[in-house]
Amino acid sequence: MKSGKPYPSDISREQFEPIRPLREGVRKRIKPRTVDLYEVFNAVLYLLKGGCQWRMLPEGFPNRVTVYSYFAKWSAVDSDGVSAPERALKKSVGEARAKLGRNAMTSS
């Protein structure tokens, strides 16, 4: 776990909570999880925002192999060609549109 000042790419734990179930559900658990998914997610954000190599992930984040493993699972596409983040985004947009009284699906 990082100590000290957060990186500019970090999100807060409160911001992470709505997406936690999506992150937890992607990887099958055979044994108890030993890594904090919040820290893994912030590590992925750091890599994506900074554009650095995996081996340049700063100390304080979970192990780069662990981070990469989660990243690969989270970005894998299903049989319809849709990744978990894309599926979550579509669901969120649909729910927001429905709350506004609009059709959940956009017209194409």
Tell me what pLDDT residue 108 has. 56
Q: Between vectors from CA 41 to CA 37 and to CA 46, what angle results, nearest 5°?
A: 145
Residues 83 and 52 in one domain: no
- Looking at the 3D structure of the chain, how many domains does it have? 2
Residues 20 and 54 in one domain: yes
Residues 51 and 97 in one domain: no
Tell me what pLDDT residue 2 has. 63
Structural domain boundaries enclosing 97: 79-108
Residues 65 and 90 in one domain: no
Residues 28 and 66 in one domain: yes
Residue in the structure block whose two tokens are 């999100």: 11
Per residue in 42-61, pLDDT (tens digit) is 999 999 999 999 999 999 99
Residues 45 and 19 in one domain: yes
Residues 16 and 69 in one domain: yes
